[in-house]
Amino acid sequence: MSRVFVRKATYDYSTLKHVIFEIMDSSAAGDMISKNSRVVIKPNLLAPAPPEKAIITHPLIVRAAAEYVLDRGAKPQISDSPAMGSFEKLLKESGIRKALEGLNVEYREFIESETVDTGIPFKKIEIARDAVNADVLINLPKLKTHAQMLLTLGVKNLFGCITGMKKPEWHFRAGIDRELFAGLLVKIYQAVKPTVTIIDGILAMEGQGPGKGGNPREIGVIMGSRDTVALDFAVCKMLRIDPDALLTNKISGEQGLFNGDISMDGELPQIKDFRFPEITPLVFGPKRFHGLIRRHLVQRPECKETLCRLCGECWKYCPAEAITRGKKKPRFDYEKCIRCYCCIEVCPYGSLAARETLTGKIARKALKI
């Protein structure tokens, strides 16, 4: 049985620090840290954004985890591979550098990778060397919605261990099918095996997350577990959805990594009206029409011209090279687009959203999907 800790919390540092320290002690994760341990702290550092936007793990949670590691005599390394923007800019704009001022920590972007044989179907996956070789990996996700995968929690946070432009490459290879992509995320999780996962659910994100298209939503909890899948499962219960709606949970269950047995330490609140992104199938209808259906009927990224600043982040990142610069906004080639919704994730101005075409809506209704 996997133990999941849930505590009410705010960003008041003295109480927050107590909560993080308590979870590290009670879960026995702290026992894994000794003086010479290589300890990597992996927050969600998706993109440069201030904490009130709820895009990144709050800097004070990173600070508390770093202080815990320092108290145990080890030197923490703060690492991630952001989807956009430089690592340095992100540390500054997110407030992490300031929040951790005076602490003896190392900041190191995940750049070098190591090839890990993960077996069928992906076989060799290149994963951040520092994450694979860490003695202790402290996984600090943010509780957020995700336009493609529904939510980004503990398992999904580890996709940041795929470095730089290898991320869009994997989106291109596996993102065309949500279950396949979830399977990839589970493989990465198994390869890096976080020692403990503590999720920032104080100011969460709902709506069209995980980037600037989402809306901050106060939930007021910190949750932690040695078992990342159990933690994700408990978060789904808190948000009142079937845990298998999060495909990484479903696949972990199918692969025997988790059997749904959780022992809750603390009272799990019930959040009744959490707003999820609308997830429509990436393909539906008879198989021989899948290509046509995907191109014309499946929810696709669209741009709100008034918000677009033609910054180019979307076309730089698009794994399918389906975006080009237009006069006032990007131009999409929906024939090429694989519906990974990465462009929505990386747009710094929240000008992109996934929209279903009218014909798609009508077709789905007719097919009762």
Nearer to ligand SF4, 266 or 326 (CB): 326
What is the amino acid identity at position 45? L
User: Which one of the spans 9-17, 70-78, 224-232, 347-355 is the region binding ligand SF4 (CB under 6 A)?
Assistant: 347-355
C-beta closer to ligand SF4: residue 11 or 284:
284
Measured from the CB atom, the residue of 257 and 323 that comes closer to ligand SF4 is 323
Q: Give the nearest distance from C-beta 228 to ligand SF4 in angstroms.
A: 26
Task: List the interface residues with ligand SF4, window 299-318 (CB under 6 A).
Answer: 301, 303, 308-314, 318
Cβ of residue 88: shortest distance to ligand SF4, in angstroms?
A: 20
Query: Are 64 and 17 a contacting pair, CB within 8 Å?
Result: yes
Any contact of residue 349 with ligand SF4 (CB under 6 A)?
yes
Q: Tell me the C-alpha to C-alpha distance, in Å, between residue 51 and each of 21, 78, 107, 137, 315.
A: 21, 17, 18, 23, 26
Radius of gyration for the alpha carbons in the chain, expressed in angstroms and rounded: 20
Q: Which is nearer to ligand SF4, 162 or 322 (CB)?
A: 322
Cα 161 from Cα 130, distance rounded (Å): 9
The reply to whether 49 sits near ligand SF4 by the rule CB under 6 A is: no
- Residue 320 engages ligand SF4 in binding (rule: CB under 6 A): yes
Tokens of 350: 């929240």
322 binds ligand SF4 (CB under 6 A): yes
Please, which residue, 277 or 330, has the CB nearer to ligand SF4?
330
Kindly determine how many residues on this chain lie close enough to bind ligand SF4 according to the rule CB under 6 A: 27
* Residue 138 in contact with ligand SF4, rule: CB under 6 A: no
Nearest distance in Å: CB 7, ligand SF4: 37
Q: Which of residues 324-343 bind ligand SF4 (CB under 6 A)?
A: 330, 332, 337-343
What whole-number distance in Å separates Cα of residue 47 and Cα of residue 37?
Answer: 28
In whole angstroms, how far apart are CA 111 and each of 28, 126, 128, 255? 30, 11, 7, 30
Question: Among 44, 81, 118, 351, which residue interacts with ligand SF4 (rule: CB under 6 A)?
Answer: 351
Nearest distance from C-beta of residue 303 to ligand SF4, angstroms: 5
Cα separations (Å) of 161 from 46, 82, 129, 170?
12, 10, 9, 12
Nearer to ligand SF4, 42 or 146 (CB): 146
Q: Which is nearer to ligand SF4, 242 or 321 (CB)?
A: 321
Tokens of 338: 């694989």
Nearest to 209 by CA among 239, 189, 188, 243: 239
Closest of 121, 172, 122, 152 to residue 56, by C-alpha: 152
Nearer of residues 233 and 315 to ligand SF4, judged by Cβ: 315
Q: Which two tokens stand for residue 292?
A: 């046509």
Residues 6+ apart with CB under 8 A from 288: none
Q: Smallest distance, Å, CB 124 to ligand SF4? A: 24
Cα gap 27→140, rounded to integer Å: 15
Q: Which of residues 177-216 bind ligand SF4 (CB under 6 A)?
A: none
Roughly what angle, to the nearest 10 degrees, separates helices 166-174 and 178-192?
Answer: 130
Q: How far is the CB of 296 from ligand SF4 (least distance, A)?
A: 14
Per CB under 6 A, residues contacting ligand SF4 are 301, 303, 308-314, 318-320, 322-323, 330, 332, 337-343, 347, 349, 351-352
